[in-house]
Structure 1
């Protein structure tokens, strides 16, 4: 058995919540939890002070990057250990979450879990098949890291200083990580609730599209081309394509343990896929975490408003 390697868990959050408590319960004595906030939060500071191996990290307001990227960079700089785990605060961390990542790292090297995004409003629910394809299936098949549950070591980055410098100039933490670290993405999934209103779901659509545009230009071109062809076929042969897309999406849902009725929207979502992609490409501003960002290029980010 490999020697135990202590882990620094970086957890950006706006306040102490259930996810923080879940991670704390999984820490070994040598591990640490970095709870990262934009500014000094007295309530969070009081809770962190009660945990011997947890610390509050104040990242400050982002300048030229997203709040998430800024928080992750601050957490990594404050972390004491070489082995790093990133986590989000918007999903349930079962008791074996951290130990599972640790064991998987010993077997595979850098590893990531797979998200399942669940819409919390009618539009978000309607669009779930697009998330199942791009946010779940493709993340798993292409070994794309998900910043909500990933473990790696500093040496895996190659040039950590360059990574952190670029992280403070971009939006997507996991998009950039994919360019520095080769990960094994596990089939183990985590349910992440997104949206809440039609506007939030549209903003998420723009952000996700812009992530692909800025980190995989050929990928977005290929996706748009395939979607265009499939849409044309769906219009020409509606009944066969209705059956094919619905059954195919049901199979994807089953493969990842997604128990949602929303696979039934696969066909109309296919018809809307090209307009949605073009909408996401045309808009370079979007709201994320209470801030509006203008993302013109991978390293050209402006915080427009809060």
Structure 2
């Protein structure tokens, strides 16, 4: 899936008018673009650091919106990913140290591969435990806040701004 605007594609490969019409009826331009474009190239040169608000409430809103985006555009895939996270949690109850070390090492490896120099990879184990909860919240929660407005997103092209 495309995300964050750092992608390139050939405009001749998509129906621009259809994309713009659909864009006016949904929230995620990135997820919608992935529906229209097969060949997307992500370039490290286009990656920019983006500051996002911190704090528990802002993080909760952002994560539930993110899950909602995935669920609206790819519900089966989202449920499959949720099942993988649940499996990791279950396995983690049987072998907590091995799973904690494993997910932390995996997160560290991915951060290095992407050139991200932050120590948040240290939170991989608690994040793996919280991921299924946030995943379910993103699927069942009726609203989320984004850009200071509250949205209700019932279907891919059924979005209501509440505030």
- Under a length normalisation based on structure 2, what TM-score does the superposition of the two structures give? 0.92
Partner residue in 2 for 1:239: 97
| Greater C-alpha Rg | 1
Aligned residues: 161
| More strand by percentage | 1
Indicate how the Cα distance of structure 1 residues 267 and 147 shifts in structure 2: closer, same or farther if over 3 A, else same: closer
- Under a length normalisation based on structure 1, what TM-score does the superposition of the two structures give? 0.50
Q: Secondary structure at the residue paired with 1:194?
A: coil
Partner residue in 1 for 2:24: 168
Partner residue in 2 for 1:270: 128
Q: Which runs of 4+ in 1 moved over 6 A?
A: none
Equivalent in 181, 188, 207 of residue 37 of structure 2: 181
1:227–1:274: 8 Å Cα contact kept in structure 2? yes
- Asked if 1:146 is matched to 2:3, the reply is yes
Query: Unpaired runs of 5+ in structure 2?
Result: none
- Asked if 1:201 is matched to 2:59, the reply is yes
Query: Unpaired runs of 5+ in structure 1?
Result: 1-143
1:284–1:295: 8 Å Cα contact kept in structure 2? yes
CA RMSD of superposed structures (Å) = 1.5
Name the structure, 1 or 2, with higher relative contact order (CA <8 Å, separation 6+): 2
CA distance in 1, matches of 2:49, 2:157: 30
Q: Secondary structure at the residue paired with 1:191?
A: coil
CA distance in 2, matches of 1:249, 1:207: 22
2:7–2:43: 8 Å Cα contact kept in structure 1? no
Q: Secondary structure at the residue paired with 1:295?
A: strand
Q: Secondary structure at the residue paired with 1:234?
A: helix
